[in-house]
A and B are shown apart, each in its own frame.
Chain A
Amino acid sequence: MTRISRLFEKLKAEKRCGMVAYLTAGDPSPAATPDLVAALERGGADLIELGVPFSDPIADGPVIQLAGDRALRAGTTLAKVLEIAREIRKRSEVPLLLFTYLNPALRYGFARLAADAKAAGIDGCLLTDASVEEAGEYVRVMREAGLDTVFLAAPTSTDRRLKLVAEYSSGFIYLVSRTGITGEQQTISDSALPLIERMRALTTLPLALGFGISTPEHVAALSGQVEAVVVGSAIVRQIEKDPAQLEGFMHSLTRPIAKTALS
């Protein structure tokens, strides 16, 4: 069992919704990331998505695109992100999910990635553009190494596709709240709740909802609906604006959770 599965068991026991925090590893520099992760953890993050920058991030909005550019310019590679993970593991047991696109993983080699990621203390992996149809070998190799494979489910996914996503996912399923790219928004899309219901009918895996969640109000509204919420662009923007206030910012987003228990 990975740290991810243990986390969701713990959240269930505590009747608490988890907070998944995304940051682009290596932004503004690889050396800065472990401290930023520690700040997120102190602010109440339960699981960290370590974004591995990719030159052509088709699923990302401008905030994460620019963070990726900064990280690449600072010399961040997939190998470097695994070093960062080892650094984080020296002082923390927070579950770590690698979050990237397929090509850097392909180039690194699935088998080598699975072994090196496991050794670095990574718990699972999400590749944004790896559709379930193309993911057979990737899932097999990752699972054999004891890593979780998390896939995205979207409001546009048919029930047939949601079943496949559930079958290929382990640890949890990442629900995309809306049709769109990553980025903050004013209100959470109406498409989120029907997706949660449809997915719930097809799986017993924990569900995490992300894309567009950026305010305490969003968190308060959603934390009773899913096992975890994911915040990405808002964190990346805070790191860009004022990394010293990251812990406080994270805390402002996790505070509304304590008041809500998943039914």
Chain B
Amino acid sequence: MTSQPDTGGHFGPYGGRYVPEVLMSPLEELELAYEAAKKDPAFHAELDKLLTTYAGRPTPLYFAEQLTKHLGGAKIYIKREDLLHTGAHKINNCIGQALLARRMGKHRVIAETGAGQHGVATATVCALFGFDCTVYMGEEDMRRQRLNVFRMRLLGAKVVPVTSGSRTLKDAISEAMRDWVTNVSTTHYLLGSALGAHPYPAMVRDFHRVIGLEAKQQFLKAEGRLPDVLIACVGGGSNAIGLFHPFIEDDGVKLVGVEAGGRGAGLGEHAARFAGGTPGVLQGTRSYLLQDDDGQIALTHSVSAGLDYASVGPEHAWLHDRSRAEYVSCSDADAIAAALVLSRKEGIIPALESAHAVAEAIRRAPSAAGQTFIVNLSGRGDKDIDIYRENLKELDAA
């Protein structure tokens, strides 16, 4: 399974390359450039150097002793991607793609962002590499992630509000694709999740595999064996596939992806693609989709902008169908409650996205004595303080 995808970018029946013809040759070019970079030791040397000296890798694998005691079951380790520069795992992929863009001679970089973490990481590498940077962000997401909008502008990026559709991540991706179609000769599209047309899902995964590679080594050192369960939140699914991928061949390791359960089970109330979706094609790739009977993409809801997306990375779809990974969902309320627990027990305020993974660990741990978990803490919670305040009003009153 590690040889996935095939040469057409397929993970089983998923993935592939479904874009207007204008983008087909540029995607072929990107694929060739990435294949060449993968084989070039100088590329890896530079990537490793920046990941170490600039982004702050390796990130710790932290034994959450207080949380473990509090839950009284499984032993919980936390992979601290929240400690990376810019506050989330997104920087791993951005550094990789920025190096690639430079090799391809592109001077302009565009990106979409949901929660703003990928936008901030993109703006950061563009500042570092001297690229002109434009980030597309849904108007609704700009409202709920104001702090990240300002961070991007501080870093010199242009943030363009997207007012079409649901004004969230999906619409930001469509707008970024329209920009790319128009400016493809000068511009690299720095896609932020393991989504989109081939080679993006495999390339973004590869840049995040460092999460799982480190975690495996760190866990073996700490416990002398492999973990029982890996837990990560899944929006597009980049942090999850980065953690999962090096463990896919390890059959004894259970992989658990956590989708946004939102505020209810009805279409439009959540972003749980595996619970309520069916296979289809959106924004370049074939995967599970939340859609209506006419094939129109459904609106989604999550308190977490980073998980609020109607589709999911195609490799997750394939892991799902093969039952190699299990996908569950967590409600808005449970995610916020989990963030409070982690803050109080471990002194770590998680991003709302990552809080979904924490919630699943909290749910499973009490009945899993003797087992070990690794929870991917993909981002830190500073950007979400406004939303936490809105939902935890009693703390302001105290």
Query: Across the interface, do B297 and A55 meet the contact criterion of CB distance under 8 Å?
Result: yes
Looking across the interface, which residue of chain A has its beta carbon closest to that of B176?
A58
Q: Is A58 a contact partner of B178 (Cβ separation < 8 A)?
A: yes
CB distance from A137 to the nearest CB of B (A): 12
Given contact pairs A56-B174, A103-B281, A131 touches B291 in the complex (Cβ within 8 A):
no
Contact indicator A59/B181 (Cβ below 8 Å): yes
Q: How far in angstroms is the closest Cβ of chain B from A6?
A: 26
Tell me, in angstroms, the Cα distance from A58 to B293 when the chains sit together: 20
A165 CB–B CB distance under 8 Å: yes
A106 interface residue per 8 A CB criterion: yes
Distance to closest chain B CB from A260 (angstroms): 27
B284–A157 touching, CB < 8 Å: no
Which of A69, A106, A151 is in CB contact (< 8 Å) with B280?
Answer: A106
Contact B283 A58 (CB under 8 A): yes
| Given A58-B177, A58-B283, A156 and B22 contact (CB-CB distance below 8 Å) | yes
A261 surroundings in chain B (CB, below 8 A):
none
**Min CB–CB distance A182 → chain B (angstroms):** 10
What is the size category of the interface that chain A forms with chain B? 35 or more
Given contacts A103-B280, A107-B280, A157-B25, contact A129 B294 (CB under 8 A): no
Bound Cα distance A107, B297 (Å): 11
Complex interface residues of chain A between 136 and 156 (CB less than 8 A to chain B): 151-156
- The interface stretch among B11-19, B260-268, B336-344, B390-398 is B11-19
Contact A180–B22 (Cβ < 8 Å): yes
A72 adjacent to chain B (CB < 8 Å)? yes
Give chain B nearest CB distance to A76 CB in angstroms. Answer: 9
CA distance A131 to B18 in the complex (A): 6
| Candidates B8, B24, B164, B291; contact of A103 at CB < 8 Å | B291
Partner of B182, one of A60, A101, A107, A179: A179
**In the assembled complex, A224 has its CB within 8 A of some CB on chain B:** no
Kindly state the separation between the CA atoms of A176 and B294 in the bound complex, as whole angstroms.
28
The reply on A197 being an interface residue by CB < 8 A is: no
Check A54 for interface membership: any CB of B closer than 8 A. Answer: yes
Set of chain B residues within 8 Å of A56, measured between Cβ atoms: 165, 170-171, 174, 282-283, 297
In the complex, chain A residues whose CB is within 8 Å of the CB of B284: 129
Chain B residue with Cβ nearest A78: B294
The answer to whether A104 touches B294 (Cβ under 8 A) is yes
Q: Does B347 contact A (CB under 8 A)?
A: no
Among B17, B165, B174, the residue within 8 A (CB) of A133 is: B17
Counting chain A CB atoms within 10 Å of each CB, which of B177, B178, B293 scores highest? B178
Q: Which of chain B's residues have a CB closer than 8 A to the CB of A72?
A: 296
Closest-CB distance, B311 to chain A (whole angstroms) = 10
Q: Is A103 touching B295 in the complex (CB atoms < 8 A)?
A: yes
Q: Which residues of A contact B291 (CB under 8 A)?
A: 103, 107
CB-defined contacts of A134 to chain B, threshold 8 Å? 8, 16-18
Out of A107, A129, A151, A158, name the residue touching B295 (CB < 8 Å): A107
Known pairs A104-B296, A105-B295; A161 contacts B16 (CB<8 A): no
Contacts of B283 in A (CB 8 A): 56, 58
Known: A103-B281, A157-B25. A59 touches B295 (CB 8 A): no
Q: List 5 A-B pairs, Cβ < 8 Å.
A: A61-B178, A108-B294, A134-B17, A152-B22, A179-B185
Binding site for B on A (CB under 8 A): 54-61, 65, 69, 72, 77-79, 101-108, 128-131, 133-134, 151-158, 161, 165, 176, 179-181
A56-B170, A103-B280 known; 14 other A-B pairs, CB under 8 Å? A55-B296, A58-B181, A78-B294, A102-B18, A107-B291, A107-B295, A128-B20, A131-B19, A152-B21, A153-B21, A157-B25, A161-B25, A179-B22, A179-B183
